Structure 1
Amino acid sequence: MNPIRRRSLLQASAAALPLSVAGKWAFAQDRFPSKPITLIVPQPAGGDADVVCRSLQKKMQDVLGQPVVIDNRGGAGGNIGTALGAKAAPDGYTLTFVNQGTMALNPSLYPNAGYKVESLAPVTWLTSIDLVIVAHPSVPAGNLKEFLELARKEPGRHTYGTAGNGSANHLAGEMLKSMAKVDITHVPYKGGGPAIIALLGGEISIAVAFPLAALPHVRSGKLKALAVTGKQRAKALPDVPTVAESGVSGYEFVSWMGLAVPRGTPDPIVQTLHAAAAAALKEKDVADRLSAGMTEPVGAGPKEFGDLISREGARWSKMIKQFGMKID
């Protein structure tokens, strides 16, 4: 934000407060940030969320002039870490990684998620992502169409792993089961990283995964990609068909990621944090790394991200009812 504009906002906001409070408030804002910032990632280390946040970490630190400390708090489909972030002090020193699962799906899936979407204020829409369906090499299918045929012949035998109950991966998998009319058992893990590890060990047949965590293993030959969930084939996997091309007409699933702070965080602080995240996304090495993982940088601000959360919450509430999704 332009320094003159920022100073004007601070002065106007401070003028509405009692003198003693206004003085302390303005002083605190002018010094932000004056200490390390915690970024809560509601997934274990090694998952897609962790990869994205660590990609942004250095540049955000450079812009803010303070360390950004990543705190992995996985579990309950992201609810544990998200609830922790929502209950933090609204002073800008606690950022929370949020995504489609925690902001649009979990409120409709969990009777008590431990937080309310309204308790978090949007900061930055970070990315838009197609998922990838990957299989263990022992699975006798070279693509999703062959795997679905196999699953229909052997109902209930095959399993699919995800980042947990209520995650975007979970919904994408349940949509696939419903639309393809197949019986595949869901196996939830405490994050995308653990799900990929389980797949590498042959514990499950396939995983509906975020590509940042899965693609390195596809490229090394340890896993095979069966399909991508977007409308079009991914540039990173041009020979891998979409789910729709694999015989599931009309299927499309695109996820997203972002950053949020506790509701009530002053707008100048929100704008400062957004500027740091947006600057990190523009770094060529960051953008190249994300794009290579089928993760497209967006960088939109609080209003655009808030509008997305509202639209997606309404949309997926209806979809969850339609597909009869329940927490295992």
Structure 2
Amino acid sequence: MHSSSYFLLLRVIAVACLGWAVFTARAQDAYPNKVVTIIVPQSPSAPADALGRTLADQMGKLLGQSFVITNRDGAGGTIGVDAVKQAKADGYTLGYGTQSAFSIQPLLRKTMRYQAGDFEFVCQTSTFVTILAVGTKSRFRSLQDLIEAARKAPGTITLGSMGLGSAPHIIGESLAKDARVKFNHVPYRNPGDLVTQLMAGDIDVTVLSPVTIANNKDIRPVAVLAGSKLATYPDVPLLRDLGYSRGEVPIFVGLYAPKATPAPTLARLRQACASAVESEAFKRMSDNLGVQRQYADAPTYTENIRQDIRAMKELIPELGIKPE
């Protein structure tokens, strides 16, 4: 090849490479330029779903693109979280859910396809307030009534939950450990079935959100799992005031992305997430659900996940909950 032709070829290649670099940079700058999917690893009736939809709507408005929710529940949330891990790390598939899929479920399942290190944590948005509840048909008028019955007949009081390692399961077993009693754990797949069975008196106790109790008049709250009383239930005592503080297992929810998502994309998502949490729409939805807005930036959210992993590694064996 003549030297002039050789150098001409090099120039063509250089121009092509430069053009591709410019195209790539513009594509990144344009994020998002198509629909973004947020996978919620819970059912459409879960509080995280309602929060996630509001967050998606607000982030979409801020970034000028549609953010849509897809529900992938099952296996304690691990199915949905694994779907996020398997997705392309380009910012167009995200996850939104509680920390239990990272801190609790890996301890309870013999086969796991992901770990917390497989994700970029974008921002934490909220913490959930929960309430121990019985049905209005129940013979138990208070938590102390239920505890006394459990002491007299170990293993006969039924604790309903959304499955192994779910928040009601961990909270209920923590309470049982604290009160030195034993509950009979009854897992459900559908939240609606759990609530229906509680109201019918087929299970004795479970853990619910304030909005679920407010929407079902046949449910009686017996203890609030929070640091202060709820304005909506001023006469319901705090669990800690009844002498059982161990049941206050934290539940927080946030947005996350696959590992190796580009830094500029993460920066845009984090900025939009922070603004969305401060929006009037998100505040209103949080109030309606009885959820506490508790924004945490990426480093703090990541550390919260790590702390919960450490805490659950101690708590789960102590409660005697075995992997399946």
Q: Match of 1:310?
A: 306
Q: Is 1:47 the equivalent of 2:28? A: no
The root-mean-square deviation of aligned C-alpha atoms, in Å, is 2.1
Taking the TM superposition and a 5 Å limit, the aligned residue runs for 1:61-72 are: 61-72=60-71
Residue in 1 that maps onto 2:284: 288
Map 1:233-252; keep pairs closer than 5 Å.
233-248=229-244, 251-252=247-248
Q: CA deviation at 1:274?
A: 2.1
CA 1:293–1:145 in structure 2 vs 1: closer, same or farther (change >3 Å)?
farther
Q: Residue 251 of structure 2 aligns with which residue?
A: 255
Query: 1:323 deviation in Å?
Result: 2.0
CA deviations on 1:24-49 (whole Å, 9 max, x unpaired) are: 43122111111111111111110121
* Alignment deviations for residues 190-228 of structure 1 (CA, whole Å, 9 cap, x no partner): 36455334434444222112334x2333xx522111111
**CA apart distance, 1:308:** 1.0
Distance 1:249 1:305 in 2: 24
Which residue is 2:135 aligned to?
136
2:297 to 301, 309, 312: 301
Distance 1:327 1:138, change over 3 A: farther
Whole-angstrom distance in 1 between the partners of 2:320 and 2:155: 18
SS in 2 for 1:238: coil
Counterpart contact for 1:192–1:210, Cα < 8 Å: no
Shift of 1:183: 2.0
Q: Percent identity?
A: 31
SS at match of 2:43: coil
TM-score under structure 2 length normalisation: 0.87
User: Greater CA radius of gyration, 1 or 2?
Assistant: 2
Partner of 2:161: 162
Indicate conservation of the 8 Å contact 1:47/1:191, yes or no: no
Deviation at 1:180, TM superposition (A): 1.2
Residue 105 of structure 1 contacts residue 168 of structure 1 at CA under 8 Å; is this kept in 2?
Answer: no
What amino acid does structure 1 have at the position aligned with 2:316?
Answer: I
Quote the residue 1:27 is aligned against.
26
1:189-228 alignment runs, 5 A limit: 189-190=188-189, 192-212=191-211, 214-217=212-215, 220-228=216-224
Matched, 1:326 2:322: yes
Q: Per the alignment, in what secondary structure is the counterpart of residue 148 of structure 2?
A: helix
Shift of 1:70: 0.9
* Distance in 1 between residues matched to 2:135 and 2:62, nearest whole Å: 41
C-alpha distance in structure 2 between counterparts of 1:275 and 1:194, whole Å: 38
Quickly say closer, same or farther: Cα 1:77–1:250, change in 2 above 3 A.
closer
Query: Is residue 109 from structure 1 mapped to residue 105 from structure 2 by the alignment?
Result: no
Q: Distance in 2 between matches of 1:57 and 1:194?
A: 28
Asked if structure 2 preserves the Cα contact closer than 8 Å seen for 1:163 and 1:194, the reply is no
In structure 2, relative to structure 1, the CA distance for the partners of 1:193 and 1:267 (3 Å cut) is farther
| 8 Å Cα contact 1:102-1:167 kept in structure 2 | no
1:231 aligns with 2:230: no
Shift in Å, 1:55: 2.7
Q: Structure 1 stretch 238-247 or stretch 254-263: which is displaced more? A: 238-247
Are positions 1:265 and 2:271 aligned together? no
Query: In the aligned structure 2, how far is the partner of 1:66 from the partner of 1:197?
Result: 39
Matches within 5 A, 1:4-23: 19=18, 22-23=21-22
Give 5+ residue unaligned stretches, structure 1.
Answer: 1-17
Contact 1:86 1:115 in 2 (8 A): yes
Q: Structure 2 CA distance, aligned partners of 1:169 and 1:75?
A: 16
Q: Which residue of 2 aligns with 1:118?
A: 117
Residues 159, 169 of structure 2: 8 Å contact kept: no
- Native 8 Å contact 2:137 2:199 kept in 1: no
Distance 1:234 1:87, change over 3 A: same
**Are the structure 2 counterparts of residues 45 and 169 from structure 1 closer, same or farther at C-alpha, using a change threshold of 3 Å?**
same
* Residue 153 (structure 1) aligns with: 152
1:276 equivalent in structure 2: 272
CA displacement 1:261-312 (0-9 Å, x = unmatched) = 0000012211222222222221224213313533211222211111111111
Between 1:197-206 and 1:24-33, the stretch displaced more is 197-206
Q: TM-score, normalised by structure 1?
A: 0.86
The answer as to whether partners of 2:55 and 2:282 remain within 8 angstroms in 1 is yes
3-state SS of 2:126 partner: strand
Change (3 A) 1:170 1:100: farther
Q: Does 1:76 align with 2:75?
A: yes
Letter of the structure 2 residue corresponding to residue 108 of structure 1:
L
Q: Secondary structure at the match of 1:254?
A: coil
Would the alpha carbon gap of residues 64 and 74 (structure 1) be closer, same or farther in structure 2, given more than 3 Å must change?
same
Question: What is the distance in 2 between the residues matched to 1:92 and 1:137?
Answer: 46
Contact 1:230/1:254 (8 A) holds in 2: no
Tell me which stretches of 4 or more aligned residues in structure 1 moved more than 6 Å: none
